[in-house]
């Protein structure tokens, strides 16, 4: 009897032991542990990638700022002051005869990137355009009043200066010429006012063009990086970084039917941004003065582009060929020259056909934009034109 119980006890213990081993293996599997207690290769890779994202976030955070802007808008109207009972009931005739002035404040949000320890901050030009007050909030929540020290309208970049009470942490700028489609892309910014938001995606494409219009005409940003990292209103001016925490682009625009993230965002390559920074710091003035576009503004004038060299350029279309009596079938047409730019002294005329820029052939507007986007502030860009069958050349400066 006792022997039988002993066998049953041993058998039960064996079963319990087996169950314990199986349970341990299941738990170890869930924790990413092998039977030897080590972390599985898959978990190690996932944790390594996670650590990289955390590192990028921590590295960039001190160099990313929140920019809030304010513009006082004034307008005139005829009518009553409905907040004034006397005016409503006793000055009715006078109210309809004399104009009144009213004002309101327009506010905006954006992101900036610290590019020097003494307080220079890079952002998009459209973030600070026509704003009367700029407030910069650092990652430590300290607040400063910013002033615009330079603007490159064609690249949609601007430089803001603050006077910090201590040295700032400037961002590490990478090399956008080494960017590859498919590599990781991390965006940091203030979408909808949620400061220091980090989103992750990849570089979806390179060399993209983005077109937008305002009262001065249609503007085209060339040579952009495309990403599917979430970019929303408020991200403008913020960095797009690689997995090493180096800035590879400045977020500038999105394509969306709703105005919010739809998987297609664009960033200005950091090499282009670096050139703009150097020129704005060196010149200490606003670059890329643009005049009114020739012809009606808006999508109907989409072939025109106000270029940062002070000229309005268009694709060579059948209409342009007929208008300017052009015999060639390739090139970019000068349609207007900004009288406030250095281009006024270039000798160019409306109707000149640009066939070459910087010793490279120009077949269309895209070629012209891409080549001249790298024009140097001091040496300018050499362009070759055809006018009435004659070949001429001149130099355009920013």
Residue numbers annotated as active site: 126, 156, 236
Closest CA to 361 of 398, 329, 387, 325: 329
Beta strands 147-152 and 157-161 are antiparallel
Give, for 114, the enclosing helix (H) or strand (E). strand 100-114
Contacts of 122 (CB under 8 A, 6+ apart): 112, 113, 115, 157, 158, 159, 160, 237, 250, 273, 277
Alpha carbon distances (Å) from 66 to 137, 145, 163: 5, 12, 16
Task: Answer for the pair 200, 49: CB distance below 8 angstroms, yes or no.
Answer: no
Q: How far apart are CA 236 and CA 227, in angstroms?
A: 14
Q: CA 96, 97, 100 angle in degrees (round to 5)?
A: 75
Q: Determine the Cα–Cα distance for residues 187 and 29; give it in Å rounded to an integer.
A: 34
| Angstrom distance (rounded) from CA 294 to CA 339 | 13
Q: Which two tokens stand for residue 182?
A: 């498919």
Strand order in the sheet with 143-145: 143-145, 133-137, 64-77, 100-114, 120-123, 157-161, 147-152, 286-287
């Amino acid at each position: 009897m006792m022997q039988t119980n002993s066998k049953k006890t041993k058998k039960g213990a064996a079963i319990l032991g087996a169950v314990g081993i199986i349970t341990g293996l299941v738990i170890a599997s869930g924790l990413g542990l092998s039977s030897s207690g080590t972390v599985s290769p898959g978990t190690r890779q996932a944790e390594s990638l996670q650590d990289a994202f955390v590192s990028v976030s921590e590295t960039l955070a001190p160099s990313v700022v929140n920019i809030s802007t304010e513009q006082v808008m004034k307008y005139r109207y005829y009518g009553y002051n409905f907040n004034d009972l006397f005016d409503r009931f006793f000055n009715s005739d006078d109210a309809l005869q004399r104009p009144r002035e009213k004002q309101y404040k327009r506010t905006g949000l954006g992101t900036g990137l610290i590019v020097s320890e003494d307080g220079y901050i890079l952002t998009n030009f459209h973030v600070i355009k026509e704003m009367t007050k700029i407030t910069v909030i650092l990652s430590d929540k300290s607040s400063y009043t910013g002033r615009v020290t330079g603007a490159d309208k064609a690249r949609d970049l601007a430089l803001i200066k603050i006077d910090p009470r201590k040295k700032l942490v400037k961002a590490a700028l990478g090399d956008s010429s080494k960017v590859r489609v498919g590599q990781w892309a991390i965006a940091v910014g203030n979408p909808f006012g949620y400061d220091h938001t980090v989103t992750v995606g990849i570089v979806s494409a390179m060399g993209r063009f983005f077109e937008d219009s305002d009262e001065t005409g249609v503007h085209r940003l060339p040579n952009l990086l495309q990403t599917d990292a979430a970019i929303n209103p408020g991200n403008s001016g913020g960095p797009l970084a690689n997995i090493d925490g180096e800035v590879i682009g400045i977020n500038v625009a999105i394509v969306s039917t709703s105005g919010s993230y739809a998987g297609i965002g664009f960033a200005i390559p950091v090499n282009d941004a670096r050139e703009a920074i150097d020129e704005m710091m060196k010149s200490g003035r606003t670059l890329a003065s643009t005049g009114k576009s020739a012809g009606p503004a808006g999508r109907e004038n989409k072939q025109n582009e106000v270029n940062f060299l002070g000229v309005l350029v268009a694709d060579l279309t059948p209409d342009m060929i007929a208008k300017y009596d052009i015999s060639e079938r390739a090139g970019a047409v000068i349609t207007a020259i900004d009288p406030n730019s250095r281009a006024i002294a270039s000798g160019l005329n409306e109707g000149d056909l640009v066939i070459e820029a910087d010793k490279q052939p120009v077949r269309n507007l895209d070629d012209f934009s891409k080549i001249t986007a790298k024009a140097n502030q001091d040496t300018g860009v050499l362009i070759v034109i055809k006018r009435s069958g004659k070949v001429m050349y001149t130099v355009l400066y920013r």
